[in-house]
Amino acid sequence: MLLKFTKMHGLGNDFMVIDGVTQNVRLTPEKVQQLGDRHFGVGFDQLLLVEPPDDPDMDFRYRIFNADGSEVEQCGNGARCFAAFVLERKLTGSKRIKVQTKGGPIELRVNRDDEITVDMGLPKLEPWEIPFKADRQSITYKLEVEGRDEEIAVVSMGNPHAVLLVDDCKSTPVERLGSKIQRHNRFPENCNVGFMEVVNPGEVNLRVFERGVGETLACGTGACAAVVAGRLQGLLEPTVKVNLPGGTLTITWKEQDLPVLMTGPTTRVYEGHIRI
């Protein structure tokens, strides 16, 4: 079968985006791994699949697969690329798009400057919702890593995140610590790990070690989780500029009973066909 796809990225977090509305697409974990290989396939951090929704109140179903073939609940940078993709392919004419994901419904809004705002919904903070093994909810938790206690915040933005405050993002051993925290036995479904350096109350630097991928140039849900964690610790303002290795996102979270809003750019790199 000859499959048409689009290669896109959000701040360097790169995606293979496939239209499963007008094409018949059947993917296995093994096939996703083959497509994700940067030497023998297309290469990507995540594969995004656009499908018709199961829910009649939604416009589309949005599925996300990591390069290792695992299907995950949410991807914020991917959601922005998703919105740009369905508009460019004329799968919708609406600038407000309701999308069904494994992590719950989200709403995408295309702004006048062509940046895209994603309503990521309410953050989940109860340990059982994330999931994270703890007796009760807390703003931060102690997690034993390499024989010492690390203080982490734990947030779900449709997918699980651990957030650590660091003095300097650049010198932090992200791969070493991230890989150990990601697979820690207190995270039954593993997690994404964010390392956040607070520049000032309106700006942070962030690096994220993603589950099933490793460190990426940008992580939208990781940026949202970091701002939620910083807000709960009294460190950040309601709107924060989040500097990632691939660029900058703007995250807004005003109050606990309001959704997290993420705004940023998208880029279409090329279109192609591949036989699967």
Q: Which two tokens stand for residue 15?
A: 């995606």
Place of tokens 């691939």: 246
Q: Binding site annotation covers 46? A: yes
With contact defined as beta carbons under 8 Å apart, do 235 and 202 qualify? Answer: no
185 annotated as ligand-binding: no
Task: Report how far residue 228's alpha carbon sits from residue 253's, in angstroms, rounded to the nearest whole number.
Answer: 7
Task: Say which of 81, 169, 191, 219 is annotated catalytic.
Answer: 219
CA dihedral 259, 199, 76, 123 (to 10 degrees): -30
Q: How far apart are CA 70 and CA 28, in angstroms?
A: 9
Candidate list 75, 81, 169, 191, residue with the active-site label: 75
Spell out the residues 6+ positions from residue 192 whose beta carbon is closer than 8 angstroms to its own: 159, 160, 161, 162, 182, 208, 209, 210, 211, 219, 221, 222, 225
How many residues does the structure list for the chain? 276
159 is in an annotated binding site: yes
Was 190 annotated as part of a binding site?
no
Q: Is 275 annotated as a binding residue?
A: no
Distance CA 60, CA 57 (A): 9
Residue 40 exposure: Cα atoms within 13 Å on the Cβ side: 5
Is 220 annotated in a binding site? The answer is: yes
Please confirm, yes or no, whether 219 is among the known catalytic residues: yes
Contact 208, 192 (CB under 8 A): yes
Q: What residues pair up with 192 in beta bridges, in sequence order?
A: 161
Q: Is 66 annotated as a binding residue?
A: yes
* Catalytic status, residue 169: no
Annotation: binding site for substrate: 13, 46, 66, 76-77, 159, 192, 210-211, 220-221
Catalytic residues: 75, 219
Annotation: binding site: 13, 46, 66, 76-77, 159, 192, 210-211, 220-221
